């Protein structure tokens, strides 16, 4: 769930030369941020981070330029979420997003990054039919886009698909709790896991995806206490979004986190910047200078 539901590539070497943001805060030379410099983060790195209790951040990305910024900042895992539907492609939900769109966006994010593990989302309708359908589309994202892992929604109901994918060599990040691809069945984006029965269902889902071979699981819109309990009981990392601080990792939709989204953002979003205002001001100032013939100035013109 992201706020809009409520309401020529730059290489990663260009731009900031600052060290990865979290290198100073991570736990010593073996940290995800500080320890891995010349290769992509792998599922083994994430498993080791859970073992030593190191928390990590995931962000969504939908293009090479933005992904390069996050890679330079030391974000170890980038999700090419189907939230691209709302955040980049102008749809009202994630439902219309296609495999062709996810393949193009995922390939761009892979091209724009060097270190981050890139996880590509399997969009609605690309895996629900059967496990072989899921494998075919996961393989497409790996072969054509170059992602290192895929994400798909559903707990017990997706376990057979996760099993086939992982047996076939596809690392799978599962996604349980609120699953936005089911927006029409859920009648919106309600918090999940409230009440005994729903909490037990969430715990069964978590265990099912772990047993099926998922290397991590996103918990979306789940009460914090329940998410912390699930995190303690699982061997694989949990990645929370609207699930409190007790998860092993956190994920936010980048346009929400950076203040690019118009209108209201969900309660669980913290806005770390106000890029919408910054970009809008830049565009207005540019237009004003063009109208007033102060741009281009002599220094922007050729002799
Ligand atoms: O599509 C997406 O961005 C997601 C995250 C919100 C977890 O699934």
CA distance 2 to 173: 19
Calculate how far, in angstroms, residue 60's C-alpha sits from the geometric centre of ligand 1: 7
Probe ligand 1: pick from 180, 238, 247, max atoms within 8 Å of CB? 180
Show pLDDT as tens, one digit a residue, over the chain (303 residues).
655 454 333 333 333 444 443 443 444 456 776 555 679 999 999 999 999 999 999 999 999 999 999 999 999 999 999 999 999 999 999 999 999 999 999 999 999 999 999 999 999 999 999 999 999 999 999 999 999 999 999 999 999 999 999 999 999 999 999 999 999 999 999 999 999 999 999 999 999 999 999 999 999 999 999 999 999 999 999 999 999 999 999 999 999 999 999 988 999 999 999 999 999 999 999 999 999 999 999 999 999
Among 54, 101, 153, 220, the active-site one is 220
List the residue whose alpha carbon is closest to atom 3 of ligand 1.
81
**Count of CB atoms situated within 10 Å of the CB of 27:** 15
Question: Would the CB of 87 count as within 6 Å of ligand 1?
Answer: no
Q: What's the predicted TM-score (pTM) here?
A: 0.90
CA distance 11 to 26: 26
Calculate how far, in angstroms, residue 301's C-alpha sits from the geometric centre of ligand 1: 44
Residues in contact with 32: Cβ distance below 8 Å, sequence separation at least 6, in sequence order: 26, 41, 45, 46, 49, 54, 56, 76
Please indicate whether residue 220 is annotated as part of the active site.
Answer: yes
């Amino acid at each position: 769930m992201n706020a809009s539901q409520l309401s020529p590539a730059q290489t990663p070497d260009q731009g900031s030369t600052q060290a990865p943001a979290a290198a100073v805060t991570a736990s010593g030379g073996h940290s995800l941020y500080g320890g891995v410099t010349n290769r992509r983060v792998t599922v083994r790195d994430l498993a080791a981070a859970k073992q030593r209790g190191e928390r990590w951040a995931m962000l969504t990305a939908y293009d090479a330029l933005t992904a390069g910024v996050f890679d330079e900042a030391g974000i170890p895992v980038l999700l090419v979420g189907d939230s691209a539907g709302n955040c980049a492609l102008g749809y009202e939900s994630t439902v219309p997003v296609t495999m062709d769109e996810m393949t193009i966006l995922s390939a761009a994010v892979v091209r724009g990054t060097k270190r981050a593990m890139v996880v590509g989302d399997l969009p609605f309708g690309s895996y629900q039919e059967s496990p072989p359908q899921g494998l075919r589309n996961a393989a497409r994202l790996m072969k054509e886009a170059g992602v290192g892992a895929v994400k798909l929604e559903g707990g017990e109901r997706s376990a057979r698909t996760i099993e086939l994918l992982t047996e076939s060599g596809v690392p799978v990040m599962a996604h349980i709790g609120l699953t936005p691809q089911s927006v029409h069945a859920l009648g919106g984006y309600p918090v999940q896991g409230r009440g005994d029965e729903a909490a037990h269902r969430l715990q069964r889902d978590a265990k099912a995806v772990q047993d099926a071979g998922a290397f991590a699981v996103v918990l979306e819109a789940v009460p914090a206490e329940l998410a912390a309990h699930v995190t303690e009981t699982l061997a694989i990392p949990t990645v929370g979004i609207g699930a409190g601080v007790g998860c092993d990792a956190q994920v936010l939709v980048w346009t929400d986190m950076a203040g690019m989204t118009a209108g209201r953002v969900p309660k669980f979003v913290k806005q770390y910047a106000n890029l919408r205002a910054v970009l809008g001001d830049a565009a207005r100032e540019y237009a004003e200078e063009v109208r007033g013939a102060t741009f281009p100035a002599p220094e922007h013109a050729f002799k």
